[in-house]
Structure formats: structure tokens, C-alpha cells
Chain A
Amino acid sequence: MKKCDILILTCPVIFTNAPLQAPAILKAVLEKNGYKAHTYDLNHELQKLDDSDRERHDILKNYFTFGTLVDKQNIVLVENYIKSIRDFIFNEYDTKHIALSVFTYQSQKFAELLASSIKEFNSDIGIVAGGQGIMSSGINGKLEWVHGLKGSKIIDAYIVSEGERSLINYLKIKKAKGLNNDDWEQLTDLDAEPYPNYDDYNLDEYKSKKLLITGSRGCVRHCTFCDIHTHWKKFVWRSGKEIASEMVSQSKKYGINKFLFTDSLINGSMKAYRDFINTMSEHNETTDDKISWHGQFIVRGLKQMTEDDWILTKKSGGDGLFLGVESGSEKIRDDMKKQFSDQDMDEFVEQAWKNKVSVSFGMIVGYPTETYDDFLETLKMFKRYQKYKEIFVEVALGTTLSILPGTPMAETFKNEMDLNNGENFWLYYKNPSLDFKERIKRRMILGEECIKMGYPVLNQNDDMKLLHFLYSVYKKNKKQIMFDLNTENVNNQKLS
């Protein structure tokens, strides 16, 4: 048996083929503080079942994700699966505490069932739940679910937001900011934290051969449709050299040379970014095992991101910059507080093309203030960049703008907008011709025109299928329940 102070479990269902970073970070932090910690990826265990017993996998995944069974007799499968996981834990590990990593609300059902089963078997085991998924309705959501679990003694504690300090405090003093309350304190010195420890993972088993890395938390922008800036109290970043050092160290230790940044923006701090690309370029020039990286990036013109920066971006392994462009209309981007001009865009895309750095565009069709002429600006933008289309990995056009009650955008427009029974169905009184039907029309036109121009449009058919379904709900004046707009990967989940 493996003896430890705490066992950290990744709860399904998460749509990723990569090992998640949080449990590995927490293991490293705990061990640095003198605790013995083990990690186990139960999400990966469930995914493996997809290869060996797809029917059972699908039933379990559906139940854990949405809490539903088409045939209620299959509840036995769920109960047996939870019991088998619980038995595995008690047979393999000798631990006093279990931490449940709940990445999204889609992991809540599993976490709850497993915690109940563990407590029934041994009520002396301490259980703590953490992760953004303990909240309902987004990153700034409510804590009803986790309050309910604690009230019924299914768990002993919960951690809001960052877990590095709170988990230590849970083991040590049981009371602290962010532990059983939402008054959490943000870490300000990320460089002082140890590198994620994946020693308990069999990384060969993961289909995605890349590791996640975090260079910053928070965001320098305050885009109107996004709630990241209202969650993170500050934009905190690591030095570029430290990020590069982690990549080199982890690639040597685990034999993986591809990294995906979890940051809202990789180049939020240009100083840190320059340090990073300088150090990584030097490394890549001296080795055959070249490192590459990708992630979310902000558009910057040549005044902010120079031609030299672009050359080093390529040399450092930058490839696959995901850009939240949102609209081809500068006016709409100003309304969104995106803070980059058409000239910035033109310079950025030209430099990416010159340096053979691939990009992806994320778009939002139907921002409340978008006129038909603004929409035409988006089409013109794609036409302008058609000559660079070889560097486009994907263009994500989405399923038109959705507005969740309680988000900053709903607050901004609350006196001028009817949410109209659903996050996708809103109507902005000052632009009444842009109803849901018109937004679908624009989305159709944009999809068709982009495909004609040769762009790789992501999930075109699935997006249309979803819109078709939503439109059928809209037509009947029925209520749209908070919908799962997340599809197949962790990036999409984060974006939504």
C-alpha cells in the first residue's frame, strides 16, 4: 500500500486527453512543505474505459456529466463503478485525507458520489473539495453545491480558487482565508512555487503528448463578455526565465517537448514574454529536442511586439497562437474593450505569416451593438487575410453570443436587454433587428463565406446542429436551460 498524508484525485468528467495540472502542482507544493502526497487521475481511468467498454463508458459519462440515465436500471452500473473506485482507493492507498479536484461543474456528480461512498466506508477519512468546478454557473458562481456537501458531512472542507496555500492550511490549521469561505488570497509570487510533479502519472498512456504550463493568472484586459478579470484580483505573472526553465526541466524529466499555456494571455506582460522567448530560443538553438508551445495570445501591433520579437517567437517554439479576435469591426472590438486596432491586426497577421507561426481565430457573432455593416467588416477582414490562410489552424466561429445571467455583460446591459428565457435568446432594445434569428443568419453567412475562402472552420456542422436545436427551443418560446456549449477539449471549456 502507498502511505501518504493526502491523496489528490482528479474527478471526471473532463474533456481532455492531457493530464491536468492542478493535482500535480498541489503534489509538488505539499511535498515542498513536508507532506507526502499522491495523485491519481480518475478522469483518465474513465477515458480508458472508452477503449475497452464503450457502452458502459457512455452510460457512466452521461450520468456523471448530466446526472441522467435513459434507463434507470443502469443506476446499478454507476453504483458498482463508484464502489470499484472506492475499493481501489482503500486497497492501494493508506491515507488520512482525500482531496477531490473538481475542474468544472461537470465533475460535481462524480465527486459527490465518490465522497459519499468513501464516508460510508470510513467516516474518519477527511475529504476536501476544490477547483473551479465547486461553483455553479461559472468561475464567479455560487457555492451552493459545496455548502450542501459540507452541511451534510459528505465533505469536511472546501477550497475556493487557488489551492496551494489553502490545502496546506487544511492539513495544518483547518482555518484560513479561502478555506470554507470565499475570502481567498491570491498568490503574488508564482516564481516561488515548485514545478508540477507528474511522477504518479503514466504519461505514455495519455493520447495528448503535451504538458500544461501556467505563466500567469488573471488578465490584463477587461473584455466585456468575459468574467476572468472579475475573478482574479490581480494579473500575476512569472518571470520569462522561470517559465522557460520549467519547460526545459519538465521536458528532460518526462520526455515531453510540447507545452500548452493555461494563461488567459501568454503575452500579457511583454517584459516577461521577451525574457521567455529569448531564453527558449537560446535553448532550442542548442538542442535537437526542440521545445514548442502554444496557447492564448493577445493581438499586438509592431509598436508593442517588434519584428525581433516575432523572430524569437518562432525560434522559441511558438506555434499555434489562439487569438480572441471576436470581430472584424474595430468599433465592435472597442465596444468589447479588446483594445487593438485594425492596423494592429494587420501587422500581427502579416508577421505571423512571415515567421510561419500558426494562428487560430476565436470569433463572436452577434455582439449586442453589432450592426449589419459591422458584420460586413468581419467578412472583409477574412477576405483581407485570405492570402495568409496557410497559417490558420482553425477559425472558431462559435454558436453566436450567449449571455449568462450574473455575468459582467448581463450586468452591463441589464436595463437595456431582455434575456428572453435563455442565454442565447437575448434581445438588446437598442439594436432590436439583431434577434436570435438574425444572429443565426449572420453565423451561417460567415461560416459559408469562410469555408469558400478556404479557412478551416472549427466544428461547423456541430455548431449548426446546436443552433438548429436551440432555435427549435426559441421558436416554441420555451426556456433554455444552461446549456453545455463545451465540446471536446479543455480549451473550449475554459473559453466558455
Chain B
Amino acid sequence: MDIKLKLFIRNYNGGPGVRISWGEQMLFDQILAKKGLNEISLNVDKFALPNSLIIEMYNKDMRHDTLLDENKNIIDDKACYIAEVCFGDIALTQELFLFNFKKESGDVSSNNVYMGFNGKFTVDITSDNLHEWYHGLQKHLLTNTEKFDYEQFKTEIFGINKINYSIKY
């Protein structure tokens, strides 16, 4: 199985360390020094399910690796933003917000794909059928999407100037 990741890196003080493992099997372990998009392609020979993909950020010292201005706004950081994870032809983007990020301290946050602390982001594939599992994620997203706004959707479909259509029949 091909596993591809798109990670956006903030590389202050040399960039974060990123480890990626498939269950117990370590697939990748590097300091990502390149700022911006880092595309990582991996391959797993024995893709047995259910299992978990774990993306771990390490090598961040919270005392020194975040650059603040005088008003304590972050102006640079050592961090990793997970933009996309692909298992074969299945690409997870907004679905990633359903998974948990566990900080080194033990705190768990959800609805977050920005790793600003050392910790592990875990994509749990809880089914033995990848497509069935992905189908479930879509369904879950759909039923839990609160931000649906019909007028906004209509504007997107009709265009701003045509939303008040007039039709004769």
C-alpha cells in the first residue's frame, strides 16, 4: 500500500523531527528542515487492517523553538501542519479533523491538524476494509457538519449575480 503525506513545515531552529509509523513498524524518521510543503511517499508491504498510522512530532523545545515578538505574537515556530494523508487512492483532508492529537504532556486535542507541540497524531483505521472505513468517515463528516448554509451554497452554485433567479414556466 502506498501512503503519501503532505506536511507543511514551520522550520524555526532547524525544523521539527517527524516520525511516521504504521502500527509498530517505523516508516520514516527525519528532521524536516525545508520550510513549507514537504511531500512524503512511503510504502507498506503488509498493510493489515485494522491498524493505525501515527505521525509524531519531536525535537521541539518549548522554551526556545517558538519565536515571539514583543507583544507575544508568534512570528515563527517549529511546527507541522498535516494537510493530506493518502492511503492508495483514498485522500484524507477534512477527514483528518476527526482524529486526535496527543501531546507529549498527555493532553489530547481533537479537531486539530496543527502540531505545535511534541506529540502524536493518530489516524486509526478501525475497520478491516479500507473503503468501508472511508465511507464511514464521509458519512460521519456529513452527519456532523454543522456549518451547512443553504444560501451560501446557493451562491456558490448560481454565482453571486444570479442567486435571485427568475424563471418562467
Contact = CB atoms under 8 A, between A and B. Distances in A.
A276 B154 CA distance: 48
5 contacts: A67-B128, A68-B140, A464-B150, A469-B141, A473-B138
B126 A68 contact: yes
A374 to B, nearest CB: 12
A440 B135 contact: no
Given A68-B136, A484-B139, A444 B154 contact: yes
B139 to A, nearest CB: 6
Contact of A66 (B50, B93, B124, B132): B132
B148 A468 contact: yes
A482 B142 contact: no
Interface of A: 62, 65-70, 72, 75, 376, 379-380, 383, 437, 440-441, 444-445, 449, 461, 464-469, 471-473, 476, 478-479, 481-484
Contacts of A469: 138, 141-142, 145
Given A441-B158, A461-B150, 20 more contacts: A62-B136, A67-B133, A68-B133, A68-B137, A72-B52, A444-B157, A464-B153, A465-B142, A465-B145, A466-B142, A469-B142, A471-B153, A471-B156, A472-B94, A479-B89, A479-B90, A479-B91, A481-B135, A482-B135, A483-B135
Given A66-B136, A444-B154, A484-B135, A72 B142 contact: no
Closest 6 CB pairs of A and B: A66-B136, A68-B136, A67-B127, A379-B169, A69-B126, A67-B132
A441 B157 contact: yes
- Interface SS majority for chain A: helix
Contacts of A67: 126-129, 132-133, 136
Nearest to B122: A72
Nearest to A438: B157
B131 interface: yes
A437 B162 CA distance: 14
Interface in B10-35: none
B150 to A, nearest CB: 6
Nearest to A375: B169
Contacts of A65: 136, 139
B98 interface: yes
Contacts of A482: 131, 135
Contacts of B148: 464-465, 468
B125 to A, nearest CB: 9
Contacts of A464: 148, 150, 153
Contacts of B153: 464, 467-468, 471
A442 to B, nearest CB: 10
Nearest to A461: B150
A480 B87 CA distance: 15
A352 to B, nearest CB: 23
B124 to A, nearest CB: 5
A484 B90 CA distance: 17
Contacts of A461: 150
Interface string B142-156: 100100101001101
Nearest to A382: B169
Nearest to B153: A468
A68 B145 contact: no
